[in-house]
């Protein structure tokens, strides 16, 4: 089986939002990056936890998921953020740049319709800090239709935690166990 996709957001997941006093978790190191379209004298400051790179590489090396960036950083995720975490170049969902003033213009995450089309009927675990109840309903409905879908929603001021990736591993292993059991049924029938 092709491993399920791991869709990975950046802001609020790998780059935590600052607290009200402007502080960020002590685990994160400051970097200045220059996103596509900005000039070198106008960089963006980001806060990155190197432990995230190690944690993600463990999941990627285990071959449990097919990792894909799903972020408004778009291709800059692979060229600017991934290297800060020691990640190899990963593909990204090519999200548009809608003129929206909220992440939920229709009551659900703006990325979702694009992700839904991009995934087609592929199983996926999606880590993003910005899902609404409608997104969780979408995932539940997709799963009910037979396309396993898991949403993991870190707290945006804290970001990705080890337990989130433990949940990814456990979910993929359950998925594999169910599929293996399903594959075993015909041969058992044959044997009978």
49 binds Mg ion (CB under 5 A): no
- Interface with Mg ion in residues 116-135 (CB under 5 A): 129-130
Q: Is 12 an interacting residue with respect to Mg ion (CB under 5 A)?
A: yes
Give CA–CA dist 177/168, Å, rounded.
14
Residue 5 or 126: the one with the smaller Cβ distance to Mg ion is 126
CB of 166 to Mg ion, least distance (A): 21
3-state secondary structure of 150: strand
Kindly state the smallest distance separating residue 49's Cβ from Mg ion, in Å: 15
Closest distance of CB 129 from Mg ion, Å: 5
> 100 Cβ partners below 8 Å, 6+ apart?
110
Name the residue number minimizing CB distance to Mg ion: 12
The Cα–Cα gap between 107 and 4 comes to 26
Cα separation, 129 vs 92, in Å, equals 18
Q: How far is the CB of 130 from Mg ion (least distance, A)?
A: 5
Sole window of 5-13, 15-23, 39-47, 166-174 interacting with Mg ion (rule: CB under 5 A)? 5-13
Write out the E strands in 2-148: 5-8, 29-33, 44-48, 66-69, 124-127
- Cβ proximity to Mg ion: between 3 and 154 the closer is 154
Nearer to Mg ion, 19 or 180 (CB): 19
Which of 3, 9, 28, 70 lies at the binding interface for Mg ion (CB under 5 A)?
Answer: 9
11 lines the binding site for Mg ion (CB under 5 A): yes
Tell me phi and psi for residue 30, to 5 degrees.
-80, 135
Number of neighbours of residue 95 by Cβ within 10 angstroms: 17
Q: Which two tokens stand for residue 192?
A: 């009978």
Q: How far is the CB of 102 from Mg ion (least distance, A)?
A: 13
Give the binding site for Mg ion (CB under 5 A): 9, 11-12, 129-130
């Amino acid at each position: 089986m092709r491993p399920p996709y791991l869709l990975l957001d950046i802001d609020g997941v790998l780059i935590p939002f600052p607290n009200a006093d402007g502080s960020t978790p002590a685990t994160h190191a400051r970097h200045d990056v220059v996103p596509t379209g900005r000039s070198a004298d106008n960089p963006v400051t980001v806060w990155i936890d190197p432990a995230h790179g190690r944690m993600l590489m463990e999941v990627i090396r285990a071959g449990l998921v097919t990792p894909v960036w799903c972020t408004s950083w778009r291709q800059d995720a692979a060229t600017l953020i991934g290297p800060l975490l020691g990640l190899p170049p990963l593909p990204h969902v090519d999200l548009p740049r809608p003129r929206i003033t909220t992440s939920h213009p229709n009551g659900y995450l703006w990325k979702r319709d694009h992700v839904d089309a991009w995934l087609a009927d592929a199983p996926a675990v999606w880590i993003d800090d910005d899902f609404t109840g409608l997104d969780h309903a979408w995932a539940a409905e997709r799963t009910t239709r037979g396309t396993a879908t898991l949403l993991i929603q870190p707290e945006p001021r804290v970001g990705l935690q080890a337990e989130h990736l433990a949940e990814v591993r456990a979910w993929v292993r359950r998925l594999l166990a169910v599929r293996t059991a399903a594959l075993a049924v015909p041969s058992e029938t044959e044997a009978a």
